[in-house]
Amino acid sequence: MKLGLNTISLWFGMIMVLIVTAGAFAFIFTDFYIDKISSPKQRYGFAAFFLAYAVYRGIRIYQTIRYKKEEE
């Protein structure tokens, strides 16, 4: 796979998945942003949304990589 715009986009996508997952775990296990979102239901809902988005982006990245390998 040659280095191009798509490769850089894939790397940024992978980094984004890691950051979003870390943010979800921060909402679940720490008091991060406790002053803005104090209700546990809201915090867990927000973390679930983050995790769902990370899974969605991960699947999209996997599909892109698989399509590129089939194309070669």
User: Over its length of 72 residues, how does the chain's per-residue pLDDT go in tens digits?
Assistant: 556 667 888 899 999 999 999 999 998 999 888 888 888 899 999 999 999 999 999 999 999 888 888 877
Q: Domain limits of the chain? A: 5-71
Q: Which amino acid is at 24?
A: A
| 63: helix, strand or coil | helix
Angle between helices 5-29 and 40-71 (to 10 degrees): 160
* Distance of alpha carbon 12 from alpha carbon 31, whole angstroms: 27
